[in-house]
Amino acid sequence: MTNPRAYLMHLPKLQLKHGQQCVILFILIQMEKHTSFATADFKDQPQSAAGNAFIRAFIAVSIGAETLARIEKVQMELQKPDVKAKWVSPETMHLTLLFLGDIPAPLAATAADALDSVAADFAPFSFAVAGLRLIGGRRSPRMIWAEVWQEAEILLIQARLAAKFDALGFSLEKRPFKPHLTLARIKQVDDPGGLEKIIAQHLKTEFGKVRVDRLLLIKSTLLPDGPLHDIIHAARLGGRGENT
């Protein structure tokens, strides 16, 4: 990418008003910040054998088989002909703590070390998965969630992870974190009231307890039939990590 400063010399030739020049100058400064960010964070990273390969990565907690079986049963109840949605396979269901997005493959080692550092400060704990929630409401349904209860420790760990990875220069989502499991991404609902009624019957349904003793760094490969998840690294709470 061309250095944004190179464009500054052309501003006087454009015959723009002062206000317009200020706007363009502001945009160029922002471009320079992003360029500096990319250079500072990634210029010293070693190249992978495949060159500048990127991987789609996130940090998550795995969910037990019994809990997933109960969720799948409710999923089947929700899958009515009038509900057009992309249903998340229980095999790929997890509690996402931090989405890292597409990162240079060599940074996976940096991410694993950071994950170990955070995990070492926390002891194993449990939380509950219970209750359904319709995101977007009846008027504009977008997703169906299973909610997380007893979430205090999850929130603490996620905040520590976000601070750690932000300090390392990873580009993170800015929206507030709300722990949940995604059951479906809705495309269209012909009878929103009917869907809302089923969900209302499961507002307090308990799907199970989840025991957390590891935080997982996961590589996600997007395929036509759904994502393929591979665990890159497992960081044990209160202990050292494990490469997989």
**Positions marked catalytic:** 94, 180
Instruction: Collect all residues with Cβ–Cβ distance below 8 Å to 102 and sequence separation of at least 6.
Output: 54, 55, 56, 57
Amino acid identity for residue 14 in this structure: L
Partnered with residue 229 across adjacent β-strands are 220
Structure tokens at 133: 């929630």
Instruction: Collect all residues with Cβ–Cβ distance below 8 Å to 179 and sequence separation of at least 6.
Output: 95, 97, 127, 147, 148, 151, 154, 155, 158
Parallel, antiparallel, or unpaired: how do β-strands 241-243 and 226-236 relate?
antiparallel
Sign of the Cα pseudo-torsion (66, 67, 69, 70, in order): positive
Burial 226-239 (b: 16+ CB within 10 A, else e): eeebeebbbbebee
